[in-house]
Amino acid sequence: MRERQTGTIVNVTSIGGKFAGPFGGWYHATKFAVEGLSDSLRQEVAEFGVRVVIVEPGAIKTEWGDIALDSAQAASGQGPYGDRVRRMSAAMRQDGGTMTRGSEPDLVASVIMNAIQAPRPRTRYVVGHLARPAVVARWLLSDRMMDRMSARMMGD
Spatial contact of 58 and 103, defined as CB atoms under 8 Å apart: yes
Which residues lie across from 124 on neighbouring strands?
A: 54
Based on the residue annotation, tell me whether 125 is a catalytic residue of this protein: no
Residue from 1, 2, 39 nearest 18 by CA: 39
Dist. CA 125–CA 131, nearest whole Å? 10
**Which residues contact residue 29 at a Cβ distance below 8 angstroms, ignoring those fewer than 6 apart?**
none
Q: Are 122 and 53 in contact (CB under 8 A)?
A: yes
Which residue is catalytic, options 7, 27, 86, 114?
27
Task: Catalogue the active-site residues.
Answer: 27
